[in-house]
Amino acid sequence: MKIGIVIFLILFQSLNISTIANAQTFNLEVEVSTNFLLSESLNDIIVMIYNDFEPIFELVVSMSFSESTQDTSPNIIGAHSWKFDKVLRGRLVEIPVVVFVPDGTEGKAYTANIDLTYKRLGYVSEITESHSIGFYIPEEEEYIDLVLYELEVDPVSPQPGVTMTFSASILNKGNIPAMYVNVSLVENSVLTLQSESFSYLGQIDSNSPTSFSLDALVNSRAREGSYSAEISINYEDEDNKSYTILEQIPFSVVVVGEERTTQGPLGGIFDPILNIFYSPSRTRPVGPSGTGGYPGGTSTSSTTGSFQRSSPILAYIPIIIVIFVIISVIVLVRRRRSKKKDFEDALEEKFED
């Protein structure tokens, strides 16, 4: 509706009106290349004058914008008038004009006055035609552009059962405010949402950064690997139209397993023997605060103990056992060989007798 009214005003103001002896006549036609001007810009337009009347002489064209007491009007840069010695019938005169439109003129219409003064062949007096051309400065397109930056995850590589925090700043690069802004984490198989997983930011104006943080609990059964958290940004424009933006933030889950460490070069072979000498000690996984338990005071004991030595000399027990076995085998082989040789010697003596 508003655009229709503006177009009507432009057409109305663009009527070519010539005043000769208080009578409205059209001798020359005046047009412009465009009726739309951009705010805060230098606009190049062309004023076109078409003579479908008769040969005219000493044509003077002058152009100016109607002054307004309420706001700043567009300004013509450079010359405001132009002179042509002769314009024959059927000829077109084109005049390039540069118009600067200042800030604060968006959505308004302005009138340019174009006066044509010329002489006719055989006439002494001059003829003056006053034409009015309407121009409209359209409003800047309204838009909202929310952008996330300074994304951070704490801890960077959480363990299962740990609460992690996603923090970021949000900036509106648009030219109108974003209304009723909500940010929240989207639940998945790895993250369990809490009350701190949602945040209401309200209105975010243009070029006004706003910070927020969201918490979520890593599933205690989560496996080690790389994952991504999804942040949902919901907002409305001035017309109460809803929009949603989804942003991905990568993170990694690390599972700290209890490793059973056996000392000595052949520890894996002699585990049954080492179990006699090594006393297992139960350990608890270290929580985010370093207290040895998970949040909430619940601790979980590992089913696999980490072996601790009661004495440093026990590290050499596997070597001693190996040496003992080798010596025993050597002694046994030598005994068997000695017995075999004695038997053969006795048997040989018997045959000699």
Structure tokens that stand for 318 in this block:
């596997």
Band of the pLDDT at 349, cuts 50, 70, 90?
low
Q: What is the mean pLDDT of residues 260-270?
A: 47
**Half-sphere exposure for 216 (CA within 13 Å, toward CB):** 25
**Lowest mean pLDDT, pick from 67-71, 80-84, 267-271, 292-296:** 292-296
- Dig out the tokens for 201 from the structure: 């930011």
**C-alpha span between 217 and 158 (Å, rounded):** 10
| 338 confidence band (pLDDT: 50, 70, 90) | confident
Q: Angle at CA 39, nearest 5°, toward 36 and 41?
A: 95
Does residue 97 contact residue 42 with C-beta atoms inside 8 Å?
no
| pTM of this structure | 0.44
pLDDT higher than 50, residue 134 = yes
306-308 and 279-281 strand pairing = antiparallel
DSSP tag of 102: -
We find that the CATH architecture of domain 146-253 is Sandwich (2.60)
DSSP assignment, residue 266? Answer: T
Whether residue 20 has pLDDT greater than 60: no
Higher pLDDT, 66 or 116: 116
| C-alpha triplet 341, 346, 347: angle, nearest 5° | 95
* Number of other CB atoms surrounding residue 343 within 10 Å: 10
Per-residue pLDDT tens digits for 266-293 = 445 555 554 544 444 433 333 333 433 3
| pLDDT above 80 (res 214) | yes
DSSP string, 174-199: SSS-EEEEEEEEPP-SSEEE-GGGEE
Could you tell me where in the chain the CATH 2.60.40.10 domains are found? 2-137, 146-253
- Tokens at 268, concatenated: 């894996």
DSSP conformational letter for 231 = E
- pLDDT of residue 179 exceeding 60, the answer is yes
- Write the pLDDT tens digit of every residue in 147-158: 998 889 999 889
Superfamily of domain 2-137: Immunoglobulins (2.60.40.10)
- Distance from C-alpha of 94 to C-alpha of 32, rounded to nearest angstrom: 9
Pair of tokens at residue 215: 């918490």
